[in-house]
Structure 1
Amino acid sequence: MSSGAHHGEVVIRPVLGMPEVEAGADLAGLIAAHTMDLRDHDIVVVSSKIVSKAEDRTIAAADGAAVDPLQVAAMRADAIRSETVRVVAERGAMRIVETRHGFVMAAAGVDASNVAAGSVLLLPVDPDGSARALRTALSERLGVTVGVLITDTFGRPWRLGQTDLAIGAAGVRVIDSHRGRHDAHGNELAVTAPAHGDELAGAAELVKGKIAQVPVAIIRGLAALVTEEDGPGVRALVRTAEEDMFRLGTREAGREAVRSRPRDGLTDALPDRLADAPVDVDAVRQAVAVLRVPTGRGASSTRDWGLAEVDDAEVRKPLLDVVGLPTSAAYVAVAYVRTHESAGRTAALLALGGIRERLTLACAVEGVGSVWIPAERFGAALVRSILPADAESVGMLAIGAALP
């Protein structure tokens, strides 16, 4: 049955009166005891906090010790590190990380609220497994076929505030694809995929709340979203890092670019060729923009070094031909020095080395290829017309399509 078939009333009820959950608690028994009318195809939405407490995912300071804020902060930091597989972004003490489950969230979901002072709470080890176990237990106890969602609180990029999202699921269609369907105007849908698991989690949070300590809600009226089988769980909602267009924060993107240097050829052993293919001109412009240094004959008149951009296609083609680069290369600049005095020449060469490094790094970030060709490969005569009269060519930088 398609989730799109629903047109009726949806009712969301809080489950009231549940006691504080302790390690080893029978969650199915507690929910059954406080839910008087659980029916087939209801969806039971459970806050991860009580699941974690029942599964003894609490970390506490030493028994009997006075609560030391510094000790608790250190314990929380250790817990976050233990639950983190990748730092996505950080600013000051705030860390957005990927957890072992694949969730991208603040502090790996480690929480110090609604727990005893001096304690922190970790996410369930396997939230989908926890949802399956709870669904089975409710079915055995009450003889009903329900869906189960386990939820936790997330922030969202580009939005203020937080909302609950699904982190575990059993018997719930957490995502639906509308690809190939048509809207009311006859337009074919290509990418629409409602994230029902997260929609349900957010809706249930409206009656649970953070302060009221109501950890369970029942959603009725969405039988189309409840499945006979447990299903794939929330795994079906998790976007992989490879598919994530925003997988790194600003600082982390810079670190990743530096770490990727051996793979991308940004060492002294730069590749000496480019792919003979069209290249994204905007990406090339972005790469070149990081130079932010005067280029060309007139702009470098007072420097001991410079970059002369080869804008004329008639000049660029023979230069590319001589060094065996494809004419599709979108950017060429000849690096030069203008002094033979030892100290000045050394400083000029070091400056050019830094420029070359910045440009090749920028190319890696933009996904385009870059090569460095020493002057010996093309000779002084070929570039004399584009250099200042007293300049000596050192090498050539070229940008184009990266080799596959």
Structure 2
Amino acid sequence: MPSPSLSVRALEALPEVRPGDDLAALIVAANDGRPFAADDCVVVSHKVVSKAEGALVELAAVEVSERAAALAAELDKDPQLVQVVLDGTAEIVRARRGVLICRTHHGFVCANAGVDRSNVAEGWAVTLPADPDGSARRLRAALPGRPAVVIADSFGRAWRHGQAEIAIGCAGLRAMADERGATDRHGRQLEATVIATADHVASAADLMRQKASGQPAVVVGGLGGHVTAEDGPGATVLVRAAAEDLFGA
């Protein structure tokens, strides 16, 4: 029996995505109109999802609160940008050495609550989608063949340099593979092995594109049983509850 294998291919570059654009139609066109395979997962940068959904903020129009102004002065950041970050923040986890680490309303812990100004017009910022799992479900329903969908973003990682892609939303993919209760090759029972499948898929996709390539959609094929007919609970299951945080306040 042949060993299982994955295929990873970036779709053609998309035009600049604007609020109200039909993102599914753009992705289908980039795939030459072909349907996707049953074991495909389309990994999409959150930024194009946010743009299509209008999750954009014009910084000049932002009214700065006293708290945002104080934080901006302390961290040497743009006050309007800090206000946008605070608007998307449920809790500030750390604010030190020019870095603002936030817990978003989704439960993600990341720099600047995911607010970003790269690949966005001058004077604007893009925020995370309001409901990334919902966005993934809608996108999946609109794609021919109903491939799994992962919405991905670059996150820093505690105790390690560099960034890696993680899934902030997904549909039709087993976000986690729980192997607890199985045994290893020596018969020992696994007690803590839970694989973040959706994050692995997001990172694999990122290897095939450059940040300025205009290729926000990548197809990861050959995922087999990781793809499900049901949309499933999404990437929400990957978020560790604040009460389980051993390193928080």
TM-score (structure 1 length as normaliser): 0.56
Q: Alignment partner for residue 55 of structure 2, among 50, 57, 68? A: 57
Letter in 2 for 1:125: A
In structure 2, C-alpha distance between the alignment counterparts of 1:220 and 1:61, rounded to whole Å:
39
Letter in 2 for 1:199: H
Q: Alignment partner for residue 27 of structure 1, among 23, 26, 38? A: 23
Equivalent positions of 1:281-320 (< 5 A) are none
Q: Alignment partner for residue 87 of structure 1, among 84, 92, 104? A: 92
Compare the two structures and name the one with the higher strand fraction: 2
Secondary structure of 1:9's aligned partner: coil
Equivalent positions of 1:229-244 (< 5 A) are 229-244=230-245
Letter in 2 for 1:85: A
Match of 1:227 in 2: 228
Unaligned runs of 5+ in 2: 62-72
Letter in 1 for 2:19: A
1:4-44 deviation per Cα after TM superposition (whole angstroms, max 9, x unaligned): xx941100000112111011010110000111342222100
The CA deviation at 1:241 is 0.6
In structure 2, C-alpha distance between the alignment counterparts of 1:7 and 1:53, rounded to whole Å:
40
Q: Alignment partner for residue 73 of structure 1, among 69, 78, 93? A: 78
Unaligned runs of 5+ in 1: 1-5, 64-69, 248-252, 254-404
In structure 2, C-alpha distance between the alignment counterparts of 1:50 and 1:204, rounded to whole Å:
15
Moved over 3 A (4+): none
In structure 2, C-alpha distance between the alignment counterparts of 1:17 and 1:84, rounded to whole Å:
32
Letter in 1 for 2:22: D
Letter in 2 for 1:152: D
Match of 2:166 in 1: 165
In structure 1, C-alpha distance between the alignment counterparts of 2:14 and 2:244, rounded to whole Å:
41
1:252-283 deviation per Cα after TM superposition (whole angstroms, max 9, x unaligned): x4xxxxxxxxxxxxxxxxxxxxxxxxxxxxxx
Letter in 1 for 2:118: S
Match of 1:12 in 2: 8
Secondary structure of 2:225's aligned partner: helix
Letter in 1 for 2:24: A
Letter in 2 for 1:181: A
Q: Which has the larger radius of gyration?
A: 1
Letter in 2 for 1:198: D
The CA deviation at 1:212 is 2.0
Kept in 1, the 8 Å contact 2:93–2:102? The answer is yes
In structure 2, C-alpha distance between the alignment counterparts of 1:123 and 1:61, rounded to whole Å:
16
Match of 1:39 in 2: 37
Secondary structure of 1:207's aligned partner: coil
Letter in 2 for 1:73: D
Kept in 2, the 8 Å contact 1:41–1:145? The answer is no
In structure 2, C-alpha distance between the alignment counterparts of 1:76 and 1:200, rounded to whole Å:
31
Query: How many equivalent pairs are there?
Result: 232
Percent identity between matched residues is: 44
In structure 2, C-alpha distance between the alignment counterparts of 1:80 and 1:61, rounded to whole Å:
11
1:127-151 deviation per Cα after TM superposition (whole angstroms, max 9, x unaligned): 000000000111xxx2x13100000
Letter in 2 for 1:113: S
In structure 1, C-alpha distance between the alignment counterparts of 2:83 and 2:241, rounded to whole Å:
25
In structure 2, C-alpha distance between the alignment counterparts of 1:90 and 1:183, rounded to whole Å:
42
The CA deviation at 1:209 is 2.5
Match of 2:154 in 1: 153
1:170-209 deviation per Cα after TM superposition (whole angstroms, max 9, x unaligned): 0000101111101112111011001001011111000123
The CA deviation at 1:45 is 0.2
Kept in 1, the 8 Å contact 2:44–2:216? The answer is yes
Compare the two structures and name the one with the higher helix fraction: 1
In structure 1, C-alpha distance between the alignment counterparts of 2:13 and 2:100, rounded to whole Å:
35
Kept in 1, the 8 Å contact 2:177–2:196? The answer is yes
Relative contact order: is structure 1 or structure 2 higher (C-alpha 8 Å, sep ≥ 6)?
A: 2
Letter in 1 for 2:12: L
Match of 1:135 in 2: 140
1:96-145 deviation per Cα after TM superposition (whole angstroms, max 9, x unaligned): 1100000000000000100001110000000000000000111xxx2x13
In structure 1, C-alpha distance between the alignment counterparts of 2:218 and 2:246, rounded to whole Å:
34
Q: Does residue 215 of structure 2 align to residue 214 of structure 1?
A: yes
In structure 2, C-alpha distance between the alignment counterparts of 1:62 and 1:47, rounded to whole Å:
26
Q: Structure 1 residues 85 and 28 mapped into 2: Cα distance closer, same or farther (>3 Å)? A: same
Secondary structure of 1:112's aligned partner: coil
Q: Alignment partner for residue 125 of structure 1, among 110, 116, 130? A: 130
In structure 2, C-alpha distance between the alignment counterparts of 1:204 and 1:131, rounded to whole Å:
16
